[in-house]
Structure 1
């Protein structure tokens, strides 16, 4: 009879430890996967941008995030600003190719080169 209570206690302990393992695993995943951009800027001078990352909406962050790498720091760009829309449009145009993303940072003249 003592063996049955010992066996039941071991099963209960195993069940509790499995439940705790999954509960703490979910809690750590949600705390890591929140929005990275808290404050956003309207624009940054194009020449100061070294690189950028665009993070699309996901279940834990319901907004598009544009993270700019500046010399020695990071900044978040407002995706609804003129500059943010240009970067997103170029990102879609290059079909999300990370090797070509530097193309989106090149300055282009509106009228092209002037002919003499």
Structure 2
């Protein structure tokens, strides 16, 4: 009878230690997450030809706004998502279906091949 009680106690201690291990591991993982917006200051426009790369971070639990981080030739800046270029970049990003391999397409200037207006005499 005493052996069963001791066996039960050991199994309860083992279960408790496993639970504590997982609780501690989840807490450390939560600390390493991004806890706020990366973009504090935003610019309204940049020279398009200076953009080397960009990252668009959607709204999430830690930041309630879309963030557009541009890698320029010499520095990193945040673009205002409500600006004309910010909206243009977001539309292109959605059009390529968030494919990182195609994201350079959004940085190319498009030629407008619309109908030519007739010449006036």
Question: Normalising to structure 1: TM-score of the pair?
Answer: 0.69
Number of aligned residues: 112
Q: CA deviation at 1:87?
A: 0.8
Q: Choose from 71, 75, 78 the match for 2:77.
A: 75
Query: 1:63-104, CA deviations, whole angstroms, 9 ceiling, x for partnerless residues?
Result: 322222233543333322332211101111222222221121
Q: Does 1:13 align with 2:13?
A: yes
Cα contact 1:67–1:77 (8 A) shared by 2: yes
Q: Which runs of 5+ in 2 are unaligned?
A: 115-121
Greater gyration radius = 2
Residue matched to 1:63: 65
Question: Normalising to structure 2: TM-score of the pair?
Answer: 0.67
**Matched ranges for 1:64-103 at <5 A:** 64-71=66-73, 73-103=75-105
Please give the alpha-carbon distance, in whole angstroms, between the structure 2 residues aligned to 1:28 and 1:83: 38
Moved more, 89-98 or 56-65: 56-65
Residue matched to 1:37: 38
Task: Give the SS at the match of 2:38.
Answer: coil
